[in-house]
Structure 1
Amino acid sequence: MFNWLQNFADWLIYSIFNIAPGSHLGTALNFFVYDTLKILILLFVIVFFMGIVNAYFPVERLKNYLQNTKLFGLEYVFSSIFGALTPFCSCSSVPLFIGFVQGGIPLGVTFSFLITSPLVNEVAIAMFIGMFGPKATLIYALSGILLGTLGGWLLGKLHLEPLLSDWVKQISNQNIQQNLYETEARTFYQRLPEIGRGAWSIVKDVLIYVIIGIAIGAAMHGFVPENFFSQYLGGGQWWTVPLAVLIAVPMYANAAAIVPIIDVFVAKGVPLGTAIAFMMATVGLSIPEATLLKKVMSLKLIAIFFGVITLAIIFSGFLFNLLL
């Protein structure tokens, strides 16, 4: 869907700016242009769509239904599976996360999506099957969905809503007031300009966070050599799994981009479970993602989210090494 953006980034960086393809600077700038435009477009489209939903759908009723109806945890499973079906990296998942929060969906359910969406997608699964076989692929996919389900459930039980930013609370209150008190009978086309202005206002509010986050990710993507990591993670000692996860957290890449690197890791002697844990931490947790989330979460909530998922991925890495 975004091939035209990639072509534009290639043309701008390699033809107009005349920076050599494959160079560190060219790779970083190309990544920055492509991901910045992609995320801003995603953010506007998703928030615009949620604006339409909020204008016509009783969001408060849906919120109360999810909070009060006994679904026995299935809402977390459904959200996690939906995350697995969306081919987004961690930063690209943030616009949907904002849309869910804006729509009044319970925070734990939105976390299930945010956790699983970057971890598992159909492209990564197809590449995994070809490189590591069906057993490793099945364990990887199911563990990603399970991690999102349990992580979202645990974070939901902690009742962390007060730790959302004031900006999110203000948007949510505005949406609820609009649904409760708006009595004007207006057509869909009459509402569109207002919805569009609201979506653009949100995009402007998070623009600086998008630019800073993607800039950090682009620098890491272009200048950090992959063999820097494999030489320290190939021993198989117990501490290599937590080390792999801690090293990966500052990184930034989507699952499809990191799978070939994992193949190199394994070929150089890194245990497959350690390599998968590294991949999960790279695609599921990153400094750019934290920068984007700063607009919607307090630092304390970001720290709790990252801490819970980091511990879960470390545990998963040990389990992978036992099973694979």
Structure 2
Amino acid sequence: MWLLIQDQILKMKWLNVLVERLLRLLGVNPATRIGGSIQFFIYDVFKITILLCVLIFLISLIQSFFPPERSRKILGNFHGLFANIIGALLGTVTPFCSCSSIPIFIGFTNAGLSLGVTFSFLISSPMVDLGSLVLLMSIFGLKIAVVYVVLGLVIAVVGGTIIEKMHMEDQIEDFIRNANSTVNIDTPDLTFKERLTYAKDQVVFTFKKVFPYILIGVAIGAFIHNWIPEAWVESILGRNNPFGVVLATIVGVPMYADIFGTIPIVEALLSKGALLGSILSFMMAVTTLSLPSLIMLKKAIKIKLFSLFIFICVVGIIVVGYLFNIFQNILI
């Protein structure tokens, strides 16, 4: 039953078969490079779009119970390591990309929450949201997806704890520290119909924002899958390059995309012989440390804290990548 769910619902193998049959009816041979690229592009665009809309709707429905004001109230009731854990867990039900997380992070900081909690939230929000769990299950299976999310949460909690212990409150920009923090944390209860409307609006808004990156990501994935020789990928991200994880992380940092745009690239690289940890490090770096989000974050914090945040994320991502590479044979 689980294999049926994974293959036909998450991976949508039925859709791939349908696309292949339609292409053959149109006189396109999927066995050729061009035909294979077309099949990969159509199949992945439709698969990721369907998953995108379903996931955003369901997660937005959950989000309607945890708006920023209510999240601030919840986080304000906890302290110490447990507060960082709650902050990281709350990050899993918030927006899909790092740029969307920055304004919420600033709001939490403005409301007087500890730096450890806010940074645990900031790290986990784009890295290990519920969407990443389902999407990774559709590519790699349940075991890898769960381990990825758990390790991502560990990075978030450890990173937040380190920042908390270093007492870097003076590294928050003055305009945020001096802002009025008397925030109304009471939120009106929504009816179920209003929550459904909110979830639907979030689907439309996010789809418009994300879909161009899906097209770009799938196009890159189709090119890698059908045109890049396996030997090239293996030499850069395979077992013969012990620095593949580091390289993948460095390449991923300046890029801007979310998990929906990176999944087809990761899928294609894996099929070409790239190691699991290397491509997951690439995905983590892209979703967590995108250049636009770093520019936004730099406006809110000073250089010392900014550099520490990047260092913690990069080191954590590299460690996770090497762990996945070491235990790849067990996980796959």
TM-score clears 0.5: yes
Q: Confirm or deny: 8 A CA contact 1:89 1:254 kept in the other structure.
A: yes
Give the corresponding residue for 1:139: 147
Q: Helix, strand or coil for the counterpart of 1:257?
A: helix
Aligned-residue identity in percent: 34
**Do 2:173 and 2:300's aligned partners in 1 also have CA atoms closer than 8 Å?**
yes
Alignment counterpart, residue 252 of structure 1, candidates 253, 256, 259:
256
**How many Å apart are 1:237 and its aligned residue?**
1.9
Partner of 1:175: 181
What residue number does 1:38 align with?
Answer: none
- C-alpha displacement at 1:230, in angstroms? 4.9
**CA shift digits 1:167-191 (9 cap, x unpaired):** 11121xx326x99xxxxxxxx9xxx
Q: Relative to structure 1, is the Cα distance of residues 98 and 230 closer, same or farther in structure 2, using a 3 angstrom cutoff?
A: farther
Q: 1:167·1:295 contact (CA, 8 Å) conserved in 2?
A: no
Residue 320 of structure 2 aligns to which amino acid in structure 1? Answer: S
- Name the SS of the counterpart of 2:308 in structure 1: helix
Aligned to 2:112: 104
Partners of 1:119 and 1:244 in 2: CA distance: 16
| Matching residue of 1:277 | 281
In the alignment, the residues of structure 2 paired with residue 308 and residue 230 of structure 1 have an alpha-carbon distance, to the nearest angstrom, of 28
Structure 1 residue aligned with 2:196 = none
Cα distance in 2 for partners of 1:250, 1:121 equals: 21
State the one-letter code of the partner of 1:273. Answer: G
Equivalent-residue separation in structure 1 for 2:181 and 2:324 (angstroms): 44
2:100 is the alignment partner of 1:84:
no
Shift of 1:281: 0.8
Q: Distance in 2 between matches of 1:294 and 1:230?
A: 34
Map of 1:135-284 to 2, 5 A cutoff?
Answer: 135-171=143-179, 174-175=180-181, 227=224, 230=233, 232-284=236-288
Report 1:66-77 matches (<5 A).
Answer: 66=78, 71=80, 73-77=81-85
Q: Provide closer, same or farther for how the CA distance between residues 155 and 230 of structure 1 changes in structure 2, counting only shifts above 3 A.
A: farther
CA distance in 1, matches of 2:240, 2:95: 31
Q: Distance in 2 between matches of 1:323 and 1:100?
A: 37
Across the two proteins, how many residue pairs are aligned to each other?
A: 228
The two structures have a TM-score, normalised by structure 2, of 0.61
Q: Secondary structure at the match of 2:157?
A: helix
- 1:119 counterpart residue number: 127
Q: How does 1:13-24 map to 2 (within 5 A)?
A: none
Deviation at 1:280, TM superposition (A): 0.6
2:220/2:265 contact within 8 Å kept? no
Maintained 8 Å contact 1:121/1:255: no
Change (3 A) 1:98 1:263: same
Q: Classify the secondary structure of the residue corresponding to 1:310.
A: helix
Specify the SS of the correspondent of 1:251. Answer: coil
CA contact under 8 A between 1:108 and 1:153: conserved in structure 2? yes
CA distance in 2, matches of 1:124, 1:230: 24
Which amino acid in 2 is paired with 1:252? Answer: Y
User: CA-to-partner distance for each residue in 1:236-263, whole Å, 9 max, x for gaps?
Assistant: 4211111111111111111232122111
1:316 aligns with 2:324: no
**Amino acid in the other structure paired with 2:108:** F
**1:45-77: CA deviations, max 9, x gaps?**
x9xx76x78xxx9x8xx86x65xx5x5x11111
Q: 1:225 to 1:257 in 2, by over 3 A?
A: closer
Report SS of the residue matched to 1:175: coil
CA contact (8 A) 2:96 2:131 kept: no
Counterpart CA distance in 2 for 1:235 and 1:108 is 37
RMSD in angstroms over aligned alpha carbons?
3.4
* Partner secondary structure for residue 256 of structure 2: coil
The Cα shift of 1:160 comes to 1.3
